[in-house]
Structure 1
């Protein structure tokens, strides 16, 4: 049974009624962020019940020492932790001396929480009766500014309902925080100073080992029934805490509000010796603007994002809510402003998975940012990996690879591998190929070939060298084989000749040879520079071509399909349909030994190859492989349903495509995998966008031309989306009987619609 307490609404995530057992889940779902920082939706007031406190800063991490039963050569020395940063949202509230705490209140009624995705704010309201008999109405609203991304703002209001009371607010900063997922209970933060200056307070701390310096700062203002008042403060202070206490008498029915402005100033962006001065300026900016003006600008900034990124679905509010929830969180996580940052699997919503970057960025997220932002943002994502090439070569060296071979990490913060499960670190090497097909996808979509001679070719060379050395000549098969790997299906470890990995290696080698020759011919000076830097030799290209040509691809003549790996048909091929629901999810119900021996597939694996290299296979081949592998797929990875949705739509299996779409778009809202309390699945949210645009919209690039093959689920009345294609803004509106293409910006654009050429004139529409 999936959770179903989120109220369906097109532009908001809404929770009605207070249930203690779903507090952690809601803290994830209602998280907010602005690309530079983010936080789980923890209550501002104190809460003594079960909660997962989390506030995070982009790029700030701690290298927690690897915890393993035994050490293996090549293991990374640390597992990067996304750090729970000093807390600034807290406001202790006391009414006639008693703390407001929803866990201990006599009663809580009319509880409502709303994440307004259209305008970018989190709101909450409720009524409570405290143990002392006082009845209150509480309303709060908070957001993290997109314009001033070092600051957040909170407006918190208390109205006594049954008597005159004394109310005290204690807004505070606290650097005495810990991570939920620490390996060794290490202290992550060293607090340097706790200071105040009038109504402002500051805590300066640095991370242990990595020495990121952070100044957490706050300032507060107050109103009664909307009119600003001045209050004197007293201070509670310790080595890691500062709270400013403000108290006043409030009559029954009056509303006493605090406006708290706070945030992070970091050495990521400022001189570490001038953080307090920078924080003062940020607070002054917020105070000068005030809450309402900052919120008004927030609404404008989100309106601009939505004008390009929105997908409208008519006639299906759950589907509409799902896609907007995904698009909203993607934009909260990464806006493309800083090429040092990337898209973490949990974003700013939790700590699981450690590092900020997986292969998810290249395989899933690039398409979304390329089409809804611009080519510069997409180029930044590629440049992030180019900048990490020396570390990728270093990572490969630790595993015994030589001569400039590069192995990109599975999990990273700074280019170093920091994932410490052997079956992932050593064996899930397919991630290396994602770096290359991301370059291909960028060039195909943007038409910007210049990236390859400038940066991309060096990455291709490093990756090709890795595949050449990782392949083994099999005298028995008279082909090159790749042994001891884990494919995208992590429910098979240490297998030989995973089809996706072998095909990807073959393709990477061929692609590197092709573009070495092309750059040598068309960009001679760049090629000379690259050869000088990489010490590339002509015979290497011949060796790469030979390995590619003789790469072994496991195939079953009997089944007429490529095999996921050599031993797949040795398994007892019982489909998921014949697996009891009480056994699901198998990753929580079965031993790992049992999973590894089963035929069950965590996510698209062989079918991942049919997605990434779609042009290499016929539709008939896709159908045969889809019909063979999908019945064994348990979809226990967040990255699985989107690929299957796209392929089912291509095959015209629309009921399946729609079911997969709902699963990917509402994965967290409905908590399919029973783990939303740990945080959201941010990177797979880009797959939801792909499900609509590439699945139902049928968007592809064919022969350097934008192509569409639109199809619509029966549950929908219509859907529309926009694309920024080579600086031309195209709107696609799919209806029951027609599709309308409107070119909002740019010059005349040639399209392929169901395989036929159509030209859309600038500023006009074409109806098909």
Structure 2
């Protein structure tokens, strides 16, 4: 990988691959993946290779293969598929000689370009350029352009079409479907998912040009779940360029922008849309696509870093790029998957990754999208109620892994092999990792206080916060001996500790959830009597409030010891301490499990990821700086950062503690999870939460942006490697531009009102009317 190829206007915008190895295909397929939130396209090559993973996912189209499996996003038909025979020899980079190779993702334009000079085994040389994009302007469109320039007069034969034989690691989610050719050029394939009954309509059409447009000799073919053209006898003079364009569309019956009641109506709509797309041509579609990207991301939420290392600027743009690619901004029935739409990892399911790591990016930069993601949680309340009821609780108990709105819990039961027993390891997260319920409540609360979106609270937010508190109030267990309510047998954020009692993160956030619900019940009764009555009918607010008040002061909250350390749970601090140097310096995550199984790791003072520390990040007002430092010094050496969620959290906390150089090191390590030199880290898909965490490390960490108690704080502290940082955030429906340098910070209101804005800057409340400048203070 090379991150320095960009020059001029494209400096720090290009991610490039300068070598081809089939053993490393997964890295490029993920890092270069394209998408628009509606669909995600893993960036395989047009031609097939061993070890490739061809994936096309459409958000929200979940299907279950069998009753003993969980629902997952089905791998849809492959429309990229193109095979080339040049002068009788198949174009294959594992054969012949690669004289030149470069594949580049242009983040600014969201276009993937592959340039190859290939010498075939019989010595003939060809220059090929492959371009593609998934349109951000029209969510249903995929466009490819292939240019072939032979050094000698040549003949091309080509196969290209729609391949519906795709599987999810062997699982076929689609029925055979129907295939048809229209207008002698336009291929159609219709398929339906086996269990959820979602119709998919795929269309592809080609356009050829060589000194003008022409139609080559061809024959249409059909096979099981396939429709394709065989083109033959395309003659290309030496030095001339043949251009092949392929226009494809993807529509489904789950689309909320498609008014079709039958599969036939869906097919006709998609067919006509494809005709229109092909008529417009590559350049017109591409220009609209680039403008849509600029409006959504690059002009809307720019971040500029002046650093000694250009990689820092590239890393944050890479994060913003993939956040836009993976987020279904078009439909509030859908959410962000843990691997986005870039791979089969985690089956397309949504975790707490969204609320804690990804949502803040949108809350501070695009509240409309943030609200849509939170509305998904509101719309999935039936599944949360179902899970609570099945477990003997009340209120909303959100699933650890979520898919479609009413699916409920979809976490698989069995996982990787136990190296000691040889059996599959049981995945307990779906049963007892319950902090996601308070995570969702916290995210709704944070969104409201940052945006001031009262309509969201009235329609969704109050109900979410109270319904989740009802779960916690019913989940508490009374300890008669100690005279307190406890939360036992859970998994906290540190998933290397299962079946623990009184996990600090879980207990504190549950307490916060109940306390906040009490405040909102009081507010509704006092200020919004009509809304109070409506929610009282749904949630029985009187009984709920009585229960909340009864339990609140009796919930056990682990207390800070004399040395400042907050126990992660009842037994963590009594577990065995071993030398973790080997695992802290590991090349690949999870190396500890080559030596221990999970049951053994459970008895060692070692953590997968931030646990107590993320509590002190989210509920920072509850803990002093000295306590944060003491816990950092105790837990960080015991944290392996085996979760991609961990490094960015620690980076923000290091900034809070005033250690900018450590924060910068952790930021760089987080950025290298996908962009780094390890060529195997991203095979299963992009690390979605880490990308949201990278933005937080920059804006919440080095930028010093924080919302606490409903108030805004901006206190930037840059690392030595940075000379300046510019970013924009949304606060209460207005945009603030922040420019931080080594010596000062300038905060500018784009649309100042008559009312001054009160912001805490370096510990002092400042009144900002238009522009405010402050000297940087050391912390």
TM-score of the aligned structures, taking structure 2 as reference length:
0.92
Q: CA deviation at 1:238?
A: 1.3
Say whether the 8 Å CA contact 2:40–2:342 is kept in structure 1: yes
Residue 564 of structure 1 is aligned with which of 568, 580, 586? Answer: 568
| Distance in 2 (alpha carbons) for counterparts of 1:677 and 1:215 | 28
For 1:684 and 1:529, the matched residues in 2 are separated by 39
Q: Which residue of 2 aligns with 1:165?
A: 154
Residue 432 of structure 2 aligns to a residue whose secondary structure is coil
Task: Specify whether residues 372 and 671 from structure 1 end up closer, same or farther in structure 2 by C-alpha distance, changes over 3 A only.
Answer: farther
Q: Does residue 71 of structure 2 align to residue 80 of structure 1?
A: yes
- 2:25 matched residue in structure 1: 23
Matched, 1:211 2:197: yes
The answer as to 2:350 corresponding to 1:342 is: no
Shift of 1:397: 1.4
Task: Measure the CA separation in 2 of the matches of 1:252 and 1:584.
Answer: 48
Structure 1 residues 450 and 615, CA, compared in 2 at 3 Å: closer, same or farther? farther
Is 2:369 aligned against 1:352? Answer: no
SS for the counterpart of 2:203 is: strand
- The answer for the alignment partner of 2:248 in structure 1 is 262
Q: Indicate yes or no: 2:625 matched with 1:640.
A: no
Q: Name the SS for the 1:190 alignment partner.
A: coil
Q: 1:370 to 1:608 in 2, by over 3 A?
A: same
Q: For the structure 1 residues 347 and 708, does the alpha-carbon distance in structure 2 shift closer, same or farther, using more than 3 Å as the test?
A: same
Query: What is the count of residue pairs matched by the alignment?
Result: 743
Structure 2 Cα separation of the partners of residues 540 and 462 of structure 1: 9
| Mapped partners of 1:333, 1:237: distance in 2 | 33
Structure 1 position 52 matched with structure 2 position 37: no
How far apart, CA to CA, are the structure 2 residues paired with 1:256 and 1:365? 43
Does the 8 A contact of 2:735 with 2:750 survive in 1? yes
Match in the other structure for 1:677: 683
Match of 2:172 in 1: 187
In structure 2, distance between residues paired with 1:558 and 1:8 = 54
Q: Classify 1:187/1:383 alpha carbon distance in 2 versus 1 (closer, same or farther; 3 Å).
A: same
Q: Secondary structure at the match of 2:602?
A: helix
Offset at residue 281 of structure 1 (A): 2.2
Distance 1:341 1:111 in 2: 38
8 Å contact 1:47–1:102 — kept in the other structure? no
1:309-328 equivalences in 2 (<5 Å): 309-315=301-307, 316-328=309-321
Residue aligning to 2:698: 692
Structure 1: distance between partners of 2:608 and 2:343 = 22
Change (3 A) 1:575 1:519: farther
Match of 2:423 in 1: none
Given candidates 432, 447, 452, the residue that maps to 2:452 is 447
- Residues 587-602 of structure 1: pairs in structure 2 closer than 5 A: 588-590=593-595, 591-602=597-608
What displacement does 1:313 show?
A: 1.1
Counterpart-to-counterpart distance in 2, 1:703 and 1:508: 14
Aligned to 1:174: 163
CA shift for structure 1 position 582? 5.8
Distance 1:211 1:669, change over 3 A: same
Is residue 366–residue 378 contact of structure 1 (8 Å, CA) maintained in 2?
yes
CA distance, structure 2, for counterparts of residue 616 and residue 558 of structure 1: 17
- In structure 2, what is the equivalent of residue 129 of structure 1? 119
User: Alpha carbons of 1:195 and 1:588: their partners in 2 closer, same or farther (altered >3 Å)?
Assistant: farther
User: Is this contact kept in 2: 1:407–1:466, CA < 8 A?
Assistant: no
| Residue 54 (structure 1) shift | 0.9
2:550 is aligned, of 546, 567, 570, to: 546
Instruction: Give, in whole Å, the separation in 1 of the partners of 2:719 and 2:228.
Output: 54
1:428 aligned partner: 433
1:700-711 equivalences in 2 (<5 Å): 700-702=706-708, 704-711=710-717
Change (3 A) 1:410 1:757: same
| Residue 383 of structure 2: aligned partner | 391
Q: In the alignment, is the contact (CA less than 8 A) between 1:112 and 1:126 conserved in 2?
A: yes
Distance of aligned partners of 1:490 and 1:543 in 2 relative to their CA distance in 1, 3 Å threshold: same
CA deviations over 1:484-511 (Å, ceiling 9, x no partner): 1000000011111111111111111111
Alpha carbons of structure 1 residues 753 and 151: separation in structure 2 relative to 1, 3 Å: same
Asked whether the 8 Å contact 1:8–1:317 carries over to 2, the reply is: no
Asked whether the 8 Å contact 1:749–1:760 carries over to 2, the reply is yes
- 1:755 paired with 2:759, answer no
User: 2:226 is matched with which residue?
Assistant: 241
Alignment correspondent of 2:144: 154
Native 8 Å contact 2:2 2:15 kept in 1: no
Q: CA deviation at 1:686?
A: 0.9
Distance 2:291 2:587 in 1: 48
Q: CA deviation at 1:669?
A: 0.8
Over 3 Å counting, the alpha-carbon distance change for 1:365 and 1:723 in structure 2 is: same
* Separation (CA, whole Å) in 1 of partners of 2:396 and 2:706: 32
**Distance in 2 between residues matched to 1:176 and 1:191, nearest whole Å:** 9
Question: Which residue in 1 is equivalent to 2:670?
Answer: 664
Give 3-state SS (helix, strand or coil) of 1:433's partner: helix
Q: Residue 303 in 1 paired to residue 263 in 2?
A: no
Distance of 1:335 and 1:328 partners within structure 2: 14
Residues 343-742 of structure 1 aligned to structure 2 (within 5 Å) = 343-373=336-366, 375-402=367-394, 404-415=395-406, 416-421=408-413, 422-536=427-541, 538-555=542-559, 557-574=561-578, 576-577=580-581, 581=585, 585=589, 586=591, 588-590=593-595, 591-670=597-676, 674-702=680-708, 704-742=710-748
* Mapping for residues 194-233 of structure 1, pairs under 5 Å: 194-197=179-182, 198-224=184-210, 227-233=212-218
The answer as to whether partners of 1:410 and 1:428 remain within 8 angstroms in 2 is: no
| In structure 2, distance between residues paired with 1:734 and 1:164 | 59
Unaligned runs of 5+ in 1: 68-77
Q: Structure 1 residues 581 and 615 mapped into 2: Cα distance closer, same or farther (>3 Å)?
A: closer
Name the structure 1 match of 2:417: none
Question: Which stretch of structure 1 is more off in the superposition, 55-64 or 745-754?
Answer: 745-754
* 1:146/1:301 contact within 8 Å kept: yes
Cα distance in 1 for residues equivalent to 2:66 and 2:493: 26
1:411 Cα deviation (Å)? Answer: 3.3
Structure 2 equivalent of residue 110 of structure 1? 100
Q: TM-score, normalised by structure 1?
A: 0.93
Query: What is the CA deviation profile of residues 497-531 of structure 1, one whole-angstrom value per residue up to 9, with x for unaligned ones?
Result: 11111111111111111111111111101110111
Say if 1:636 and 1:673, in contact at 8 Å, map to a contact too: no
Number of the residue aligned with 2:62 = 61
Structure 2 portions without partners, runs of 5+: 7-11, 414-426
The Cα shift of 1:343 comes to 0.8
Give the CA RMSD over aligned residues: 2.1
Residue 38 of structure 2: aligned partner: 36
